[in-house]
Amino acid sequence: MTSSAISVRKAADIPRHSIDASSERTHFSHLGAAVRDRFGALTVFNDDILGPSTATQPKMYEYVEVITYVVGGCFRHDDALGSDFVLQQGDVERFSFGSGAAIMATNNSDSLDLRSIVLSIDARDRAGTPSIDRRSLKRSAVGRDQPLIDIALDDTLNPSPAMSLHQRGRVAVGLPGGFEDRLRIDRDDGAYIYAVSGSVGVGDLVLTEGDVATVTDAADLKIFGDGPAHALIVVVPLKDYETADRPDAALGLLPSSP
């Protein structure tokens, strides 16, 4: 069964903003803008490029799950909790900000750009204490028979090797070298499927680098790619989901959909 509620946003239609030695392809408008788009519980999705030896300004977040996936380069994480470490290409971290924490990112290379995909998902009340988890994504083999690799999953499900997500949903990746899997979307949920590189098949559609497919209805889709194909998939609730009880002015947060 394939859902008809699928739309594609082409890379050329997603603006890229340049600031000094950094740029970002911002899928959702910047926080603080008059209108802030979102995709259900997914509030931010950016494909960032940070120039050599460049750092971002410290940013404060509350009650969100921020996932950073390093596509290329070296990402240095430095936060107000005292954590200081470096993520390499293929590494991913999940920062549950709980009641609040500040973070700064630095390109740890003095010669190469850093490319990272950063996304933010609303958290439940139960994520009150900040916490960090990280993984290195590894392929077991090369070929189309490789499934999607789960990065983070709803922490109310059975124990999993994936990182915990304090929200109903799933974050997964299809790595270069070939992959094929089924993506099943339940009613009230949606999928945000991003072609990181190469050509990614989504049902009968083909995405090229930088394109996004959104699924907003129950579906059972084949996701696949060969060679350089590389995909990042986020499944989140579009309505009737829990969010933390905090002021609407909190960074990165809006009330859940009705």
Residue-by-residue pLDDT tens, the chain, 258 positions: 445 589 999 999 998 888 666 888 888 765 555 446 889 999 999 999 999 999 988 888 889 999 999 999 999 999 888 899 999 999 999 999 988 899 999 999 999 999 999 999 999 876 678 999 999 998 888 889 999 999 999 988 877 789 999 999 999 999 999 999 999 999 999 999 999 999 999 999 999 999 999 999 999 999 999 999 999 999 999 988 888 765 443 333 333 332
In sequence order, what are the beta bridge partners of 101?
61
pTM of the model: 0.90
What's residue 106's pLDDT?
A: 94
Residue 237 identity (one-letter amino acid): P
What's residue 43's pLDDT?
A: 92
What's residue 246's pLDDT?
A: 54
What whole-number distance in Å separates Cα of residue 4 and Cα of residue 201?
Answer: 15
194 close to 223: Cβ distance less than 8 angstroms: no
What whole-number distance in Å separates Cα of residue 114 and Cα of residue 48?
Answer: 8
What whole-number distance in Å separates Cα of residue 56 and Cα of residue 104?
Answer: 6
What's residue 176's pLDDT?
A: 96
The CATH number of 7-237 is: 2.60.120.10
What whole-number distance in Å separates Cα of residue 107 and Cα of residue 114?
Answer: 6
What's residue 30's pLDDT?
A: 58
Check residue 249 and give left, alpha or beta (phi > 0: left; psi -120 to 50: alpha): alpha
